[in-house]
Amino acid sequence: MNFLTFWRGVKAGIKNFFRNGWLSVATISIIVLTLFLINIVFLITVVSNRTLENVQDKIDVSLYLKAEADDSAIKSLEEDIRKIAGVKDLNFISKEVALQDFKEKHKDDEIILKSIEELGNPLQPSFSIKMENPEEYQRVFQKIKELDVKGLTSDIDYYSQKKPVVEKLSSITKSIRKVGIFVVLIFATIAVLVTFNSVRLTMHNYRREVEIMKLVGAGHWFIRLPFIVEGMLYGFFSAWISILIFYPLIYFLSPYLNRAVEVMDIVQYLNENAIKIVAIQLLSGIFLGALSSLIAIRKYLKI
């Protein structure tokens, strides 16, 4: 197939597309709906990921040290811990600092302040540790236990209080992603089926042309090309329409969205990633369209 025949095939596809009229409109509507849903799911995933990251960032784990541990031993343990992969940040909190924090926290409670005065300083020094991925606490603590040959550590307050929170949030994020992918897959399947059906109808309308093409010696791909082009055009136009609905809608809703979603500025995020989002839309739209045509060709275009 030379360029001239290729271009003729493309032109025939464009012509088919516009001749189909309402059929094209109906097909595009369904693909637009699919792509729009993909956008929404995508946005929800981004927001929930951000929320999780945000919470994870705020969570630090206290690793309590024995009161009698001496400074040089603590120092060397601190350096060892810093070297463990996955540790993002590490802070040493001495007994004195811990006491100050405690007093600050309970400054309105006379009884507690009085009793702590009487006790001296019952608090333990500790490390406050932040992880790159909070789900890795188990591994990191295991490592710390191995490194702590002198038995300096006494207690970890992660498992008791913070672990359930992180795990819950992380499982919610995962479920959101799963449900999202599921919804997208269902709609993508519907979109493929609808496009497939439209291309099939075009094939039915053009069966005489196809028959004649075969008789006068048209190449296989020359016969197929217009149908593939038609499918791709459905995707192409759908992608643009979906973008043209999605962006203004988000702009319009942005005051409400920003109030609801504190962790990020959605409009800013969409603007920063505009090229990426448009490209993904276009590619997935065109891909879905071409895929549907190829299925229809395989099934119905007997060459």
Partner 1 sequence: MIHFRNVSKIYTGDVVALRDVNLDIGKGEFVSVVGQSGTGKSTLLKMIILEEKPTIGQVFFNERDITTIGNREIPHYRRRIGVVFQDFKLIPKRTVFENVSFALEIAGKSNKEIKTNVSQILEIVGLAEKSLKYPTQLSGGEQQRVAIARALVHHPAVLVADEPTGNLDMINTWEIIELLIRINKLGTTVLLATHNKEMVDRLNRRVIALDKGNIIRDQLEGKYMI
Which tokens hold the place of 271?
Answer: 């603007």
**Which of 58, 110, 217, 276 is close enough to bind partner 1 by CB under 8 A?**
217
Residues forming a β-bridge with 127 = 63, 92
Helices 220-260 and 274-300: angle between axes, nearest 10 degrees: 140
**Which of 53, 80, 135, 209 is close enough to bind partner 1 by CB under 8 A?**
209
Residue 218 binds partner 1, judged by CB under 8 A = yes
Rg of the chain, C-alpha, whole Å: 31
Residue 199 binds partner 1, judged by CB under 8 A = no
248 with 30: CB under 8 angstroms? no
Site for partner 1 in 58-77 (CB under 8 A): none
Number of residues that bind partner 1 (CB under 8 A): 19
**Which of 179, 186, 212, 283 is close enough to bind partner 1 by CB under 8 A?**
212
290 with 239: CB under 8 angstroms? no
Q: Taking contact as CB under 8 A, which single stretch among the options 28-36, 127-135, 149-157, 211-219 is the one that binds partner 1?
A: 211-219
C-alpha dihedral, 269 to 274 to 275 to 281, nearest 10°: 110
Q: Taking contact as CB under 8 A, which single stretch among the options 126-134, 207-215, 250-258, 262-270 is the one that binds partner 1?
A: 207-215
Residue 201 binds partner 1, judged by CB under 8 A = no
Please identify, using beta-carbon distances, which residue of 169 and 225 lies nearer to partner 1.
225
What does DSSP say about strands 126-131 and 87-93: parallel, antiparallel, or unpaired?
A: antiparallel
Please identify, using beta-carbon distances, which residue of 24 and 48 lies nearer to partner 1.
24
Q: Taking contact as CB under 8 A, which single stretch among the options 57-65, 144-152, 169-177, 204-212 is the one that binds partner 1?
A: 204-212
**Which of 208, 259, 298, 302 is close enough to bind partner 1 by CB under 8 A?**
208
Q: Taking contact as CB under 8 A, which single stretch among the options 64-72, 89-97, 158-166, 219-227 is the one that binds partner 1?
A: 219-227
Residue 228 binds partner 1, judged by CB under 8 A = no
Please identify, using beta-carbon distances, which residue of 253 and 303 lies nearer to partner 1.
303
Helices 163-205 and 207-215: angle between axes, nearest 10 degrees: 70
127 with 81: CB under 8 angstroms? yes
Q: Taking contact as CB under 8 A, which single stretch among the options 72-80, 127-135, 217-225, 258-266 is the one that binds partner 1?
A: 217-225
Residue 216 binds partner 1, judged by CB under 8 A = yes
Q: How many CB atoms lie within 10 A of CB 161?
A: 11
């913070």: which residue's tokens? 162
Residue 302 binds partner 1, judged by CB under 8 A = no
Residue 222 binds partner 1, judged by CB under 8 A = yes
Residue 215 binds partner 1, judged by CB under 8 A = yes
Question: What are residue 6's phi and psi, to 5 degrees?
Answer: -60, -50
Distances (CA, A) of 35 to 28, 62, 117, 238: 10, 45, 65, 8
CB of 56 to partner 1, least distance (A): 58
Q: Could you say which DSSP state residue 162 is in?
A: I
CB of 4 to partner 1, least distance (A): 5
């759908």: which residue's tokens? 238
Q: How buried is 77 (Cβ within 10 angstroms: 0-12 exposed, 13-18 middle, 19+ buried)? A: buried
* Residues of this chain that bind partner 1 (CB under 8 A): 1-2, 4-5, 8, 208-209, 211-220, 222, 303
